[in-house]
């Protein structure tokens, strides 16, 4: 059950043990996976820490299975950390007719 919660959490973008615990109360899907049980965030964190290597291998298997089923498209994403200056002043973001009015105020 804990593994199911972690895998579904990773698949839906819920990574925090506290958020996973909260989801077992709020989300029908998480509640179903947990069989209407609500594991403590410490239990989830300890389980993840204790079985990290095994979880990594199982998660790769889940991704490969999802790709074979056609529900996952795998690719490469590159992030270089470049910072780009943005001009986000309210005057540059407003249409021309609104700029004239906002400058008068």
pLDDT tens column, 89-101: 655 555 655 555 5
Whole-prediction pTM: 0.65
Using a 10 angstrom Cβ sphere, with 0-12 exposed, 13-18 middle and 19 or more buried, the burial of residue 29 is exposed
Q: What is the pLDDT of residues 51-84, one digit of tens each?
A: 999 999 998 898 889 889 988 776 776 777 777 6
How many contiguous H segments (helices) and E segments (strands) does the chain have? 7, 0
């Amino acid at each position: 059950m804990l593994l199911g919660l972690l895998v579904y959490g990773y698949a839906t973008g819920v990574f925090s043990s506290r958020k996973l615990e909260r989801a077992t109360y709020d989300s029908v899907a998480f509640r179903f996976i947990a069989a209407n049980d609500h594991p403590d965030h410490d239990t989830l964190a300890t389980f993840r820490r204790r079985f990290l290597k095994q979880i990594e291998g199982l998660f790769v298997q889940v991704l490969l299975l999802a790709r074979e089923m056609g529900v996952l498209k795998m690719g490469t994403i590159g992030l270089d950390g470049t910072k780009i200056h943005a001009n986000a002043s309210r005057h540059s973001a407003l249409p021309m007719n609104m700029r004239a009015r906002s400058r008068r105020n």
